[in-house]
Amino acid sequence: AQSVTQPDIHITVSEGASLELRCNYSYGATPYLFWYVQSPGQGLQLLLKYFSGDTLVQGIKGFEAEFKRSQSSFNLRKPSVHWSDAAEYFCAVGEGGSYIPTFGRGTSLIVHP
Amino acid sequence: NAGVTQTPKFQVLKTGQSMTLQCAQDMNHNSMYWYRQDPGMGLRLIYYSASEGTTDKGEVPNGYNVSRLNKREFSLRLESAAPSQTSVYFCASRAGQENTEAFFGQGTRLTVV
């Protein structure tokens, strides 16, 4: 069965600093990978997705993620964090065909001024 | 665009009461999902419907039932609510083709006392 691990429960960064959120997945074939963001009291919004092709994908709000098959990872990065980026971030994996999105437990991002 | 609409947004139930959470999408998506979100647990799949007329259990189906009323609507029913069902419930939909992501509603915050 597919699974997703987000090893960091909380990440604290200063505004303007760079950010990397980690995500590792377990799946036999090439997975479909996603990052979602959830602001307090809101639903989940897609930041970016990887299906195939270029392993570095660009998303909304200045985020990017890199798929590394050898490390089974799909880490999310942003070069300069803004206070408005404070939120919960979820990595998800899905398989082709029937596809059922499976989510990690989430990483809470705290941004200090 | 409405996207995925969930009702109600908030609900308080007494133990043993029943209720139905409603979800409707206007994107002509084939697949729909119900998740629950609990602190530190991420999103866990309760039930899903890969297409109109089909439903299947997810990771945590006990205590819930679902109905795929038509292509637009997918409801979640709690027959006899328990405090352990206190959670935030999210409905999501997906087009059904392989290279597509899930879209989420705003969530229903349910408290069972």
Check pLDDT > 90 for residue A100.
no
CA B61 to chain centre: 11
Closest partner residue to A104 (CB to CB) among B42, B48, B99 is B42
Mean pLDDT value of segment A37-44: 91
Give per-residue pLDDT as tens, A44-97.
999 999 988 889 999 999 999 999 999 999 999 999 999 999 999 999 998 655
Shortest distance between the Cα of B18 and any Cα of chain A, in A, equals 24
Residues 6+ apart with CB under 8 A from B94: A99, A101, B29, B30, B31, B32, B33, B100, B101, B102, B103
What is the percentage of chain A residues whose pLDDT exceeds 90? Answer: 73
Give the pLDDT score at B96. 72
Give the pLDDT score at A98. 59
Give the pLDDT score at B1. 64
If one counts every other C-beta atom within 10 angstroms of the C-beta of residue B30, the result is 16
- Of residues B58 and A30, which shows the higher confidence score? B58
- Of residues A98 and A42, which shows the higher confidence score? A42
Give the pLDDT score at B40. 86
Give per-residue pLDDT as tens, B46-79.
999 998 999 999 999 999 999 998 999 999 999 9
Shortest distance between the Cα of B39 and any Cα of chain A, in A, equals 9
If one counts every other C-beta atom within 10 angstroms of the C-beta of residue A71, the result is 10
Contacting A with CB below 8 Å, chain B residues are 4, 31, 33, 35, 40-45, 48, 50, 58, 90, 92, 94, 98-99, 101-107
Give the pLDDT score at B84. 97
Give the pLDDT score at B3. 94
Name chain A contacts of B4, Cβ cutoff 8 Å.
Answer: 43
Residue of A nearest to B90 (CA): A43
Give the pLDDT score at A52. 83
Asked if A106 lies within 8 A of B105 by C-beta distance, the reply is no
Asked if B104 lies within 8 A of A44 by C-beta distance, the reply is yes
* Matching residue, tokens 């991420």: B42
Name chain A contacts of B92, Cβ cutoff 8 Å.
Answer: 44, 101
Mean pLDDT value of segment B11-35: 96
Give the span between the Cα atoms of B88 and B37, in whole angstroms.
5
Asked if B58 lies within 8 A of A102 by C-beta distance, the reply is no
Q: How confident is the model at residue B26 (pLDDT cuts 50, 70, 90)?
A: very high
